Amino acid sequence: MKTKHRAGGGNEGGFFARHQLPFELLYVGLFGLFCVLWACQRDMSFNPDEVMRAQVPWYIYEHGKLPNGWTEEIRDSLWGFSYAFQPTFLPSLIGAGFMRLTDLFHATEYTRRVALRLTSVVAGMGSVFFFFRIGGRLFDTRMKWLMTVFISTIPQFIYLSSYYNYDMVCLCGSAMVVYAWIRILQEGWDYRNALILSVGMSIIALSYYNGYSWILCSIFLFFLTPVLKIDEQMDRGRMVRLFFYIVGLVFVMIGFFFIRNLVIYEGFDLFGSKSMNLSQEMYAVSELKPSVKTSLYEDGISLWDMFTMRDGIYMEGVLESFVGSFGYIASDVPEWIFDFYKFSFGFGAIGFLGAAFTAIAGRSSQFEGEGMTLRKSVVLFSLLWLSFLIVFGLHTYYSYAKDYQPQGRYDYPAMPAIALIWATGVEWLRNRPKLVTRLFFALCIVVAVVAFFTAFLRGELIVWLR
């Protein structure tokens, strides 16, 4: 059953509401222009991992073929490996293509570097575009714009969109997957929605392992559809046809790169991880070899200790680098910006809890008007939460068992889940102005009490939630 989603907010007939797409494209274009200006600045050594990751597209640009991970030319002299072991070649191919375009104009090392960074610029623009599409499916015009602008102006979001990395390409694929989910829940499974989902999953598969939770949850959504009767038109025959359609599309888009890994690397190394570790053991400097470099787990530190040691610096580092720590966590935005986002995310989380309890108690979703019954809303947000927890769990596991890195950029593939959860909470609170006023005064009282007792007990005023 087709459902017409919201087209605008309180001023349905206004000029702005009637011409949403041009304004959205204008915002996407301005966002991209700003990121290009950032991309023209800074040397590659300033940005984390950019030098190592750029070796792969640079090789493709110069030789016109995919590199082998064992190629000495692109092996990092310190870490002893290259990212060419991994089958995630999509960002590299896009970057090499942009560098090729510079040959038509003015090709210098500087212009090629900026061209390479256009990979992340375009991925960031694509992410913003799909946030508009997602918001337009669930919220009115005001809330759609608030969610998109709020997320896309996070300093770290802009920074990641201005230098070469895999995070933003994966985020673009994740946003595309969530957009497909919402279309499927509203309209049912059809070949167009399956195509959007397949492209999104393929982008994730060829960009960043941290985003693979979206692929897993997409599989859950497909097989839960007949069980939970999400799509009344989905019979067994149609399900089989769509299954082979999606599998076929994804295989065509990503199959070559993974089969290539199976052929050229020993040990059935589908993801290249075993060969990469072996290369690091053979060629890395002594203190960075896997057999020498110890993790928190190997040092006997518990997972709880990692979260609580040094006054919870791990989570503080993750949050602050999620909001705005540039370079190798060496350049931060002002403290008040961190406080603003902490408050904003907390505000949205409180609202989401309120929305969840209200929906369960009233047995009605706040998205009923958009063709999202309570059952469909529960499925959507369950998958969003699961995807978020898996992304964060993978980051936590890597930090604990392999390499301690409290970098919030590793959690950016989960941004579509964060954006929708936050926007749902803010939307619920926006419709309850009296409750917001009471919450604000209660928060002021709590902050005042905490600040007073902190100053009284420790003899100094410490900003709460620092």
pTM: 0.90
Classify residue 352: in a domain, yes or no.
yes
Instruction: Give the gyration radius of the chain's Cα atoms.
Output: 23
Q: What is the dihedral of CA 149, 202, 230, 2, to 10 degrees?
A: 60
How far is residue 131's CA from residue 147's CA, in Å, rounded to a whole number?
8
447, part of any domain: no
Supply the DSSP symbol for 411.
G
Domain-located, residue 215: yes
118, 36 contact by CB (below 8 A) = yes
Instruction: Count CB-CB contacts under 10 A for residue 224.
Output: 15
- Mark 253-279 as b/e (b = at least 16 C-beta within 10 Å): bbeebbeebeeebeeebeebeebbbbb
pLDDT for position 453: 63
| Predicted pLDDT of residue 5 | 55
| 10 located within any domain | no
449 belongs to a structural domain:
no
Please give the residue range of the domain that contains residue 422: 15-431
Query: How many helices and strands, by DSSP H and E, does the chain display?
Result: 17, 2
Whether 136 maps to a domain, the answer reads: yes
Residue 43, classified by CB atoms within 10 Å of its CB into exposed (0-12), middle (13-18) or buried (19+), is exposed
Does any domain span residue 380?
A: yes
Q: What is the pLDDT of residue 451?
A: 62
Residue 437 lies in a domain: no
Domain count, the chain: 1
User: How high is the pLDDT of residue 342?
Assistant: 87
Q: CB within 8 A of 110, min separation 6: which ones?
A: none
8 A C-beta contact, residue 267 and residue 274: yes
pLDDT in 10s for each residue of the chain, 466 residues: 445 455 444 445 577 777 789 999 999 999 999 999 999 988 888 888 899 999 999 999 999 999 999 999 999 989 999 999 999 999 999 999 999 999 888 888 999 999 999 999 999 999 999 999 999 999 999 999 999 999 999 999 999 999 999 999 999 999 999 999 999 999 999 999 999 999 999 999 999 999 999 999 999 999 999 888 887 788 888 899 999 999 999 999 999 999 999 999 987 889 989 999 999 999 999 888 888 877 888 888 888 888 877 656 888 888 888 998 887 766 677 888 888 888 889 889 999 999 999 988 888 888 887 888 899 999 999 999 999 999 999 999 988 888 888 888 899 999 999 999 999 999 998 888 777 777 777 777 876 776 666 555 544 444 444 4
